[in-house]
Amino acid sequence: MNNIIAIVGRPNVGKSTLFNRLTESRKAIVDDMSGVTRDRHYGKAEWLNREFIVIDTGGYVANSEDVFETAIREQVVIAIEEASIIIFMVDVTTGITDLEDDIANILRRSKKPVFVVANKVDNSMLVHESAVFHSFGLGEIYNISSMTGSGTGELLDDIIAKFEVVTEDETSHLPKFAIVGRPNVGKSSIINAFLGHDRNIVTPVAGTTRDSIHIHYKQFGHEFMLIDTAGLRKKTKVKENIEFYSVMRTIKALEEADVCILMIDATTGLEAQDINIFHLAEKNRKGIVILINKWDLIEKDHKTMKKFEDAIKEKIAPFTDIPIVFTSVHEKQRIFKAIEVAQQVFENRAKKIPTSKINDVMLEVIERYPPPALKGKFVKIKYITQLPGIAPTFAFFCNLPQYIKEPYKRYLENQLRENFDFKGVPVTIYFRQK
């Protein structure tokens, strides 16, 4: 959990090539399914059954010549603060630049694990060339070729060995709601509204500062943790890297959260970056609530809400069973409703349906509309069970699992949603041979 690997380094060393290699298989699956735009700079990867997030920091640096060195230095500082592991990538064919010496100086002061990766070691002749990088004083040099993949296995073996272990504390069992969204949508404002409303809020959580992201809320019979992604921005001198910083914070918050409260600015609507956050939450099987904030700024009639909802659902399809709440933090409109909805989504995500109940309902659903025959073969679904785990997952046992296609799977998902209410929660369905 919460393992974020940031790849830093100057342009052209091969960061995005490695990023693509690490995230490739998943990208294909996701793109096929949804056909949506996808952030090319962060994504999920997996090695030996350990999942992690990879960030290609190069994707967040402006091209302009005069800012780029400052931006890269700043990025390295942010990466040290926000990532769990840093890959410092250099190019074996070009040796060391001044900028890279600077980066090494910053990284040497880091408490986070740093892996120096010499890229473009395409053949064994080049291995000894990478010895120059020992002058960074950052330990072992990993020789890889992002292009062919050679050396990446050893690198990943050592990286996952450094993954953080999750520590439990007295708040671990509480629902965790992450407030996420692009800059200026109103994240700090809503957090302040909660804080201002309630003197019982316990902050900071032990061992963290006010600027940290955890806020323990306890009032009106509700108790939960809010994960704030806006907090620190005001303090740090993040100039060139607002987007990078905000993506880092968002990913971290999402990883920790049970439910992601995605805030949108009503005056701009749902944009590409919001959709990326949405899909990241979906892929991570987190609960999702969408808040359309600054609702006070919108001129409305009785159709406006419906129009907004439809426009949003079109953009997030096919996963549209999502609660949408129209808020105004300025006018204190529906902000507690937002929390109630998040609580409901949390409960939906934790819901366990007894096997007998699922079978009663779903076998009838299937009988009414059975899977279409394929190549003259009939698919027979025999029984269904909910698998243990944090997010709702169902196994449908049948004779020919490979013959069930996407549309029928979607039909089953919709029926599960209609009958059992999984609003705001990604539902996973497997077909198993029986």
Report if residue 62 touches ligand GDP, rule: CB under 6 A: no
Residue 152 binds to ligand GDP (criterion: CB under 6 A): no
Query: Would you count residue 17 as binding ligand GDP (CB under 6 A)?
Result: yes
Is residue 192 within 8 Å of residue 184, measured between CB atoms?
A: no
Beta strands in 285-370, from DSSP E residues, in sequence order: 287-293, 324-326
323 annotated as a binding-site residue: no
- Which is closer to ligand GDP, CB of 330 or CB of 337? 330
Q: What is the DSSP string of 54-90?
A: EEEGGGGS---HHHHHHHHHHHHHHHHHH-SEEEEEE
Q: Are strands 176-180 and 141-143 parallel, antiparallel or unpaired?
A: unpaired
Residue 337 assigned to a binding site: no
- For residue 296, count CB atoms less than 10 angstroms from its CB and return exposed for 0-12, middle for 13-18, buried for 19 or more: middle
Instruction: For residue 219, give the 3-state DSSP assignment.
Output: strand
- The structure tokens 């990883």 sit at 255
Burial 400-426 (b: 16+ CB within 10 A, else e): bbebbeeebeeebbebbbebbebebbb
Select 150 or 359, whichever has its Cβ closest to ligand GDP.
150
CB of 7 to ligand GDP, least distance (A): 8
Q: Does 60 appear as a known binding residue?
A: yes
- Per CB under 6 A, does 320 bind ligand GDP? no
Is 229 annotated as belonging to a binding site? yes
187 binds ligand GDP per the rule CB under 6 A: yes
Task: Report the residue from 12, 25, 209, 320 that binds ligand GDP according to the rule CB under 6 A.
Answer: 12
CB contact set of 99 (below 8 Å; sequence gap of 6+) = 10, 69, 72, 73
Judged by DSSP in three states, 41 sits in coil
Please choose, out of 131-139, 144-152, 167-175, 313-321, the segment that lies near ligand GDP by the rule CB under 6 A: 144-152
**Residue 216 within binding range of ligand GDP, rule CB under 6 A:** no
Nearer to ligand GDP, 230 or 345 (CB): 230
258 known ligand binder: no
Question: 383: annotated binding-site residue?
Answer: no
Binding mask 73-112 for ligand GDP (x = CB under 6 A): ----------------------------------------
Residue 16 annotated as lining a ligand binding site: yes
The footprint of ligand GDP on residues 333-372 (CB under 6 A) is: none
The strands making up 381-386's β-sheet, listed across from edge to edge, are: 381-386, 393-398, 428-433
Summarize the annotated binding site for GTP as residue ranges.
9-16, 56-60, 119-122, 181-188, 228-232, 293-296
Residues that bind ligand GDP (CB under 6 A): 9, 11-17, 58, 119-120, 122, 145-147, 181, 183-189, 230, 293-294, 296-297, 328-330
